[in-house]
Amino acid sequence: MITEFVVTAGETHKRLDQFLVHRERDISRSGLQRLIELGRIRVNAQVVKPSQKIKPGDHITMDTPQPGPLLVNGEAVPLEILHEDDALLVLNKPAGLVVHPASGNWSGTLVNALLAHFHAEGDSGTLNGGKAKPGLVHRLDKDTSGVMVIAKTDHAHRALAEQFEAHSIIRMYEAFVWGVLRHDHGVIEMAIGRDRVERKKISSNTARPQSAITEYRVAQKFGNLASHVMLSPRTGRTHQLRAHMASLGCPILGDEAYGDQKVCRVKEIGIPRVMLHARTLGFQHPLSGTFQEYLVRLPSDMQVICQSLQRDIGS
């Protein structure tokens, strides 16, 4: 796909990659740099470097390759299934498991595991033919553990997606966060989107803000160094809980992206991952119409951290 830009008179002299990163929101700065180095992005029909300074009147062309269909193989990855019927599957995703195949993680993902599981059951569901099609109604980050629902039919996918879009899904997360919140209970209303500068992060410093609301409640305090909180997202934005907690000065423990290296250790306690767990998921079943709710308590690694915080810091 060819995209063209003409640098306007109001643009200041800046690097080509810096200019493009604010116009191509779906491509990272490193991705743009690779396209420039491959000659797929040119200035005035000339091959240039990412550091090329653009000026008013420059004509930029970008040839973005179109991805072909993604074929995914089934793999025997263990799954902890909480419930399964003809319409859907509910599981407990462990921390460390990537949900969807992508660059750097083409195998060993949840989608690979689901393909193998459905094949063994004689039902390929909405992941038909090995193609990664919408069966994933929602996702959890790699380091986040907890409850997920997977649609097995197109009807179930539409019905569940409508509930997520209407924010009628019941969701509760548990997290251990850095420091102590000013209030024991509250609601965070802060629009967020892709950060203008740090493109891998979500924040309020964005050109495309989307409404985001999170309710929180402090369950336990570990001195003045850390807290155990319950989080209920009323909206479902990418990295919403991580960005919202960081905005209060209490980033989630282990979340170096939003809290720097300081949150990876509390006194002598090392934090092995982002301390975030999807505890509860409730929804209306697409076929029966009955409300179903699933709860998974803290995984063992978070229980160990909790016990260490209680023992070494106190509450």
CB 85 within 8 A of CB 34: no
Residue whose entry in the numeric block shows the structure tokens 């409730």: 282
Cα gap 127→75, rounded to integer Å: 13
Provide the residue type at 35 as one letter: L
Active-site position among 17, 63, 86, 141 = 141
Q: Which is nearest to 104 in space by CA: 26, 202, 30?
A: 30
Cα gap 248→251, rounded to integer Å: 8
Q: Which is nearest to 140 in space by CA: 81, 85, 100?
A: 100
Phi, psi of 157 (to 5 degrees): -60, -45
- The structure tokens listed for 22 are 């604010």
The vertex-236 CA angle with 235 and 237, nearest 5°, equals: 110
Provide the residue type at 146 as one letter: G
What residues form DSSP beta bridges with 177?
Answer: 227, 252
- Number of neighbours of residue 300 by Cβ within 10 angstroms: 7
Provide the residue type at 114 as one letter: L
Asked if 63 is an active-site residue, the reply is no
Phi, psi of 97 (to 5 degrees): -90, 120
Active site residues: 141
